[in-house]
A and B are shown apart, each in its own frame.
Chain A
Amino acid sequence: MYDSGKIIVGLIIGVGLLLFPFYYNAGKAAKAPDPQLTPKAKEAKVCVETTEYMRSSHMSLLDTWRHEVVRDGKRYYTASNGKVYYKSLQVTCMDCHSNKSKFCDQCHNYLDVDPYCWDCHIEPKENN
């Protein structure tokens, strides 16, 4: 091929840069996320929905809530177990899960997820 020297050198540099995250972190494992419940959350036993559902879908639940509260004016949520909750991240969710850095941030930081909710919604004040 034409310019084979330049191409091959370029390929090696490119693939090397592409694979950098893998061989830089080879052999090390990041600490698994360890979300901890507050005493209030443990006492409540169950969240708005089941743990499995919350683990997989709390983002879409919050998204639906945000749409329904602001745009439709429907501020109360009837959970599948019949209980009625006030749809609010700050007031309802953070009431039980007030340890954001030990609960929410554990998984979010591990997966490098940075939800912009906290740009506006006030984080609960933690003591440490």
Chain B
Amino acid sequence: MGMDRRKFLKIAGLSAMMGLGGKAAFELLAPGELEASLKDLPLTEGRKWGMVVDMTKMDEALMDKCIEACHRVHNVPNLGNPKEEIKWIWKETYEHTFPGQHHEYVSEQYHGRNFLLLCNHCTNPPCCRVCPTKATWKREDGVVMMDQHRCIGCRFCMAACPYGVRSFNWGDPRKAPKELNPNFPTNLEYPTRSKGVVEKCNFCAERIAKGQLPACVEAANAVKPHALVFGDLDDPSSDVRKSLHESYTIRRKPELGSGPNVYYII
């Protein structure tokens, strides 16, 4: 070899830097993802979907209707086993929803009461940061989307999500017990999932693309309007902004910096 080790290492280091820097330079000259990800603002443009859950209008029956609607529209199976449970939207007690807020003298109307929980479609989602294949990513319109074609089932997003909104298909969802899922699949226009992929609420991306409201919002509106308010957080005249303006709202675990976009009116 005509070259000595030191020279070789210098050349290798320089070419590695140029290779890595070259891609970054290319991206910077053509403004795109690299630039956008360097800002701490989300990759949203135009709309920014968010939701307000008005717990003053919610009761157990209405929450059950929302859950049933979502799980029906998306073929979410009822596996009957809390370990393998798949849920896109569910009920959780006050203590578990807002863990930092619980104290000894909580009013009777909140203590032990169920709240409606779903994916918060955070502004700075930890799940998207850790996905090794970008099978989950934050869309420009604010929806944290799942691509089940690309998911490798590593469950890192489940570990990263601070709110526990993600479920993994531990087994084949089509093998769910028939007694618990009489008409499975309940929606023939939407696919089921296979085993080995993670799923979660996707703000009914396929419905909002057609201009419809998410299934839970539509189910709630049929019974009690404005119990669930869905809309564009960037539009000051939207319903969701009006709700946020009229009432005091809190979010789940805001101290974590993930920026959840589901607000609760207590």
Contact = CB atoms under 8 A, between A and B. Distances in A.
Query: Is any CB of A less than 8 Å from a CB of B in the complex?
Result: yes
Interface of A: 66, 70-71, 73, 75, 88, 90-91, 116, 119-122
B51 interface: no
A66 B194 CA distance: 16
B188 A122 contact: yes
Contacts of A90: 188-191
Given A70-B145, A71-B147, A120-B148, 13 more contacts: A71-B145, A73-B205, A90-B188, A90-B189, A90-B190, A119-B194, A120-B192, A120-B194, A122-B75, A122-B185, A122-B188, A122-B191, A122-B192
26 contacts: A66-B149, A70-B145, A70-B147, A70-B149, A71-B137, A71-B145, A73-B139, A73-B141, A73-B205, A73-B209, A75-B206, A75-B209, A75-B210, A90-B188, A90-B189, A91-B189, A116-B194, A119-B194, A120-B191, A120-B192, A120-B193, A121-B191, A122-B75, A122-B185, A122-B188, A122-B191
Contacts of A122: 75, 185, 188, 191-192
Interface string B191-211: 111100000000001100110
The main secondary structure of chain B at its interface with chain A is loop
Contacts, number: 33
A24 B256 CA distance: 66
A120 B185 CA distance: 11
A123 to B, nearest CB: 10
Interface of B: 75, 137, 139, 141, 145, 147-149, 185, 188-194, 205-206, 209-210
Contacts of A116: 194
Contacts of B205: 73
Instruction: Name the residue in A90, A119, A121 with the highest tally of chain B Cβ atoms < 10 Å from its Cβ.
Output: A119
Nearest to B143: A73
B199 to A, nearest CB: 10
A101 B189 CA distance: 19
B97 to A, nearest CB: 30
Contacts of B188: 90, 122
Nearest to A72: B139
A71 B147 CA distance: 7
A73 B145 CA distance: 10
A76 B159 CA distance: 35
A74 to B, nearest CB: 9
A120 B139 CA distance: 23
